[in-house]
Structure 1
């Protein structure tokens, strides 16, 4: 029995009946070669993935919530756990190209997970003809709830799957322990009282430390002319996100993107990613006559794990964040990149209100966290701080194989927040960086055009490099 952390609970409490907080990881493989006999053994593939996932704490554990959210939920062993019930193999409709794979992915990502059992499932799409040179490939779609894992944790799972089976993997232990004794109400009530006291003390300490951020920020705000203060102008992306989600992805050469850092001193890969997104958003909004003189503002998650925490468990969430304007109001791409560099350096400098907000919510007692999360949803408060999410998580730098199959490409679909209807996730793999765009059809009805805006924005920066 293990209790979830306050930050994990945010992804549980902000979930609604038509907007779900799970992550979908797409792993794309081409077909079987003639050397392998020209056939794919999906049962062995399923067994391999099962053996790899069994090490993750969420594998055979389900969530138990307390009445009135008196304390944070617990992971307990699911006494009815059946691994095979979490796997499905689905043939992709003909002709098995990208439109069919994308539609199947969107449909899967838009479906709720069964919150009464372990919060993961694996869908293997067969008959995929767009993953590589050999037809008849397949795609493995792994869904995990965000309460159990963040982007870094998901890539740790991928790294483990890329390793050959070990003796520990082969030792499938189907014995289920019994947590019922620890789940007595006497025990839970005592824990709840202790946790409330502990979280209250931690919250006070965080607020005290936060004065070092709030005071300078307030002074800068008062010294800045009203006309020069950063504002968040609502855009079409600050809309309700209920209903089915849409998704598309393009990839660019990572080496070429990394070289663009030389366009401005101090620029990082993440800055260049933001510059590409900014250029795309400028094109898109301008085409729809929605471009304003106020820059679009991005919410940028940051891995809060320390450099020394390489052995940290891959479950749960450990994130910070900051917001930064990405200067869609500036036409010149180099000038835009320069302003983005300054904005991200300021945000990462520890003076971010978004970072302080996340630190505060990490210390809230469960009842207050629940009420706060529901208020955020009801008021779409996130839309007053930013217009979209942009997340950059580096993946494997070289080609990897899973169960003997070479991974051709990958994609990731994170959840959307209420009032925050655009998420651009940019994982990298084997020399490519993937721009994954997640939204809804109501917010982004012409997603294909938006993807072309991303390509044009990248090409624009490339053209500047050649001058």
Structure 2
């Protein structure tokens, strides 16, 4: 699976994932953080993540999967960059910069990651004065959602004044293998691959038999509803991106489950996305009669695989109920469909799906991906699903980087031809963010879609309160028509900025507030000398902000 993300890489579809993080330096020593402090902090923790100093080496003619080697030319200052927003430093400018950063492909001749520090966040509602952002990009070949959380944990601490890790740094660079050596490895791999295929087939056979039995006994159903209708998002992509998102209280999400028996938190998020897509496409007069579907990744990573590189994920397809207007009915529909999809996935075996991908011929995979893009098949072939909704649980407690507290966390997702819109649900402390990445040509009005997410959440929240006999709170704006895209985002709140003075605190109310959007524009690398960097984030003059809610020697082969 790792190799498939390398094969799918194109200029218009870079295969990296990432996040937009907002940090408040009030908890750092002296109340500020300099860029050289960030460099020193990251350098002291490189040994905690295998991802940081390994690069890919491709086999000539794609005769085998790429290999991971320890980069002999690793340079931390190439990977950690520093920019500032232009005045007045508002939310829209942060989103634009983040989107530009995220749209640019990574250099795959180096370890495939970049972190861009963004200062100048001076006029974003809900963001404490002096805060800074970090836009992260890591190639999907190196991490999945859960290993991305592991990376986040490696580069953050549980206390603002935590000492450096006592884990010794035994890292050693490796020689980059030449073409003859790589071809020799691919030859040996070709000899053993048939045996691996037989082994995987033997492991998958019981799951296949169980799936056939499940169909016969009607433990689950395969229906026409699983076929995704085409929408404006299922076309070839340009290189431009937009990003946005909203923050919602986790307590409200859990309370909404009362509307549908056996519904899970993930079902609620799927129903929110379904309602948002319904509103957006209705405004565009482009809503299909049948329900849109979402691919929902499922982590099959074991506890003993924590920290391992690569991807350990399978997937299920979930119907979003976009054809249903009533929010409670939509949640009940989504819950019934996800229950069916989970039963099917469990029958086949989620890990079996992942193992099968590891023995797919690398050459065929690369050729297939290139043909799909060059022939423009995304404009002619129905998509297997309408969008992506990935749910990644984040830290349940506050974390700190260089002493600065993480206030908000928005996920960013890669897109491919035929899949021009993706969502990430990320929890952190007592909040969750629902963020999205889209092709700008297919969604030129991200603020409007963000408001659709807000409205969809509030409809479900109000319905759950009425079911509990509580009074629904006033809505925070309404996305009635696409003209709303010209409006300034109403409440750009990444997290509850804790402030002891009610005046500037902006404590979150029940309705989800707009949080700092994740954007990831990769600004041209400005190599900042560790001693001279200018990121000096002044200590906030207001009361201390409240805790924001969280939202070796041999080359290692990248399995497909």
Q: Distance in 2 between matches of 1:447 and 1:354?
A: 37
Q: Does 1:305 align with 2:295?
A: no
Q: Does 1:96 align with 2:89?
A: yes
Q: Does 1:205 align with 2:202?
A: yes
**In structure 1, what is the equivalent of residue 341 of structure 2?**
347
Contact preservation (8 Å) 2:53, 2:74: yes
Contact preservation (8 Å) 1:89, 1:123: yes
Q: Distance in 2 between matches of 1:185 and 1:157?
A: 29
Contact preservation (8 Å) 2:226, 2:293: no
**In structure 1, what is the equivalent of residue 274 of structure 2?**
278
**In structure 1, what is the equivalent of residue 451 of structure 2?**
452
Aligned pair partner of 1:336 in 314, 330, 339: 330
Contact preservation (8 Å) 2:231, 2:288: no
Secondary structure of 1:349's counterpart equals helix
Q: Distance in 2 between matches of 1:301 and 1:69?
A: 27
Q: Does 1:253 align with 2:249?
A: yes
Q: Does 1:60 align with 2:53?
A: yes
Q: Distance in 2 between matches of 1:343 and 1:385?
A: 16
Structure 1 pair 181/145, CA: closer, same or farther in 2 (3 Å)?
closer
Structure 1 pair 183/268, CA: closer, same or farther in 2 (3 Å)?
farther
Secondary structure of 2:329's counterpart equals helix
Aligned residues: 455
Aligned pair partner of 2:98 in 85, 105, 109: 105
Give the TM-score normalised by the residue count of structure 1.
0.89
Structure 1 pair 142/224, CA: closer, same or farther in 2 (3 Å)?
closer
Within-5 A mapping of 1:15-414:
15-32=9-26, 36-129=29-122, 130=124, 134-163=128-157, 164-168=162-166, 171=168, 175-178=172-175, 180=177, 184-185=181-182, 187-205=184-202, 208-209=205-206, 211-212=208-209, 215=212, 230-306=226-302, 309-351=303-345, 360-377=356-373, 378=375, 379-380=377-378, 383-414=382-413
**In structure 2, what is the equivalent of residue 3 of structure 1?**
none
Q: Distance in 1 between matches of 2:398 and 2:253?
A: 19
Secondary structure of 1:26's counterpart equals strand
Contact preservation (8 Å) 2:25, 2:405: no
- Identify the range of structure 1 (422-431 vs 40-49) with the bigger mean alpha-carbon deviation: 40-49
Secondary structure of 1:251's counterpart equals strand
Q: Distance in 2 between matches of 1:337 and 1:244?
A: 33
Q: Distance in 1 between matches of 2:221 and 2:111?
A: 51
RMSD: 3.0
- Identify the range of structure 1 (112-121 vs 210-219) with the bigger mean alpha-carbon deviation: 210-219
> 1:250 Cα deviation (Å)?
0.9
Contact preservation (8 Å) 1:427, 1:433: yes
Secondary structure of 1:89's counterpart equals strand
> 1:428 Cα deviation (Å)?
0.9
> 1:214 Cα deviation (Å)?
6.2
Contact preservation (8 Å) 1:91, 1:127: yes
> 1:157 Cα deviation (Å)?
1.3
Contact preservation (8 Å) 2:207, 2:349: no
> 1:436 Cα deviation (Å)?
0.7
Please, which runs of 5 or more residues in structure 1 have no aligned partner?
A: 1-6
> 1:311 Cα deviation (Å)?
5.0
Secondary structure of 1:398's counterpart equals coil
Contact preservation (8 Å) 2:387, 2:422: yes
Please, which runs of 5 or more residues in structure 2 have no aligned partner?
A: 467-560
- Deviation readout 1:49-68 (Å, 9 max, x if unpaired): 23324432232221111112
> 1:350 Cα deviation (Å)?
3.1
Contact preservation (8 Å) 1:200, 1:365: no
Contact preservation (8 Å) 1:361, 1:369: no
Secondary structure of 2:244's counterpart equals strand
Secondary structure of 2:129's counterpart equals coil
- Deviation readout 1:289-309 (Å, 9 max, x if unpaired): 112320111111111123xx2
> 1:166 Cα deviation (Å)?
3.8
- Deviation readout 1:379-414 (Å, 9 max, x if unpaired): 339853110001111111122222211111111111
Contact preservation (8 Å) 1:199, 1:364: no
Contact preservation (8 Å) 1:301, 1:322: yes
**In structure 1, what is the equivalent of residue 415 of structure 2?**
416
Secondary structure of 2:151's counterpart equals helix
Structure 1 pair 186/416, CA: closer, same or farther in 2 (3 Å)?
closer
Give the TM-score normalised by the residue count of structure 2.
0.75
Q: Distance in 1 between matches of 2:87 and 2:170?
A: 39
> 1:439 Cα deviation (Å)?
0.4
> 1:90 Cα deviation (Å)?
1.0
> 1:282 Cα deviation (Å)?
1.1
Q: Distance in 2 between matches of 1:246 and 1:115?
A: 23
> 1:133 Cα deviation (Å)?
5.2
Q: Distance in 2 between matches of 1:432 and 1:210?
A: 37
